[in-house]
A = this chain, B = another copy of it.
Amino acid sequence: MRIGVVAPSTPIRSDVAEAVTALAAAHAPDVEIVFHPQCFLVHNHFAGSDAARAEAFVTVANDPAYDALWFARGGYGSCRIAEDAIARLAPAARAKAYLGYSDAGYMLAGLYAAGFEQVAHGPMPQDVRREGGEAAVRRALDWLGRREAGSLEPSLDGQAKAAAFNITVLSQLLGTPLQPALDGHMLLLEEVSEYMYRTDRAMFHITSNPGIRQVAGIRLGRCSLVPPNDPDFGETEEQVVRHWCERSGIPYLGRADIGHDADNKVVPFG
């Protein structure tokens, strides 16, 4: 079992790779993790130029020696390469799993839109730096290595289709070629570091989209590090999401166990 790590958004430091490698050696000795050197490149905001990030992603995705492609971390930048890079993928790329969240959502969306069948929202190597983050990395390894059911978000019943996204990321890919068909899916959403008025605005955008209105329902993960709204927004994140679900006729299904934190569970798409 070999996992290739690439960074289509922002770079990781070598100590993150070392910590994850050591953790994997102890927890899942059958798993080999290869951090592509591109993970450590720095070009302005990004882990290397658009070309370097796309090349690393395409190389690992198309290499049959890898069973999985693991996104190193979020940040910002994968939307700049997603459409073109996914168009360059060969049949071998369809045989592997893809795992990440946050800004990696552009890649997950585009892969799922292109019919890839092993795409999942879940922890990334950079999470090892969170408090309790080793558990998140182990959870990811358990899913990547042996599809461990204990890694999964608990509301997933194995019957209904599902997908998960950061709220801002999903909003910002609506109407682009990256938007996947999500009709009949349970849609799990989470957010971090956004003012409540922005989450409200993004939920207007998401729930006004004709494609999104075809989902089976929305579950709300954690919204963390919300800056204080001035003036007070007067509604919690759950009230905001309920409001837009009611306005748009989308069933609100309750909370989800995902978020920008160490407890973030795995949500396989489909």
Contacts and interface: CB of A to CB of B under 8 A. Distances in A.
Contacts of A235: 44
Number of identical monomers bound together in the oligomeric complex: 2
Contacts of A42: 231
Contact of A231 (B45, B80, B174, B200): B45
A175 B172 contact: no
A224 interface: no
B233 A205 contact: no
Given A174-B175, A176-B208, A177-B208, A201 B79 contact: yes
Contact of A205 (B44, B173, B211, B232): B173
A225 B43 CA distance: 24
B172 A45 contact: no
Given A177-B208, A208-B177, A210-B175, A233 B201 contact: no
Contacts of A211: 175
A202 interface: yes
Given A76-B197, A79-B204, A204-B80, A44 B172 contact: no
A175 B209 contact: yes
Interface in A174-218: 174-178, 197, 200-202, 204-205, 208-211
A175 B45 contact: no
Interface residues of A, number: 32
A201 B209 CA distance: 19
A200 B202 CA distance: 17
A262 to B, nearest CB: 24
A209 B174 CA distance: 8
A209 B71 CA distance: 26
Interface of A: 42-45, 76, 79-80, 83, 171-178, 197, 200-202, 204-205, 208-211, 229, 231-235
The 3 closest A-B pairs by CB, nearest first: A44-B234, A175-B175, A176-B208
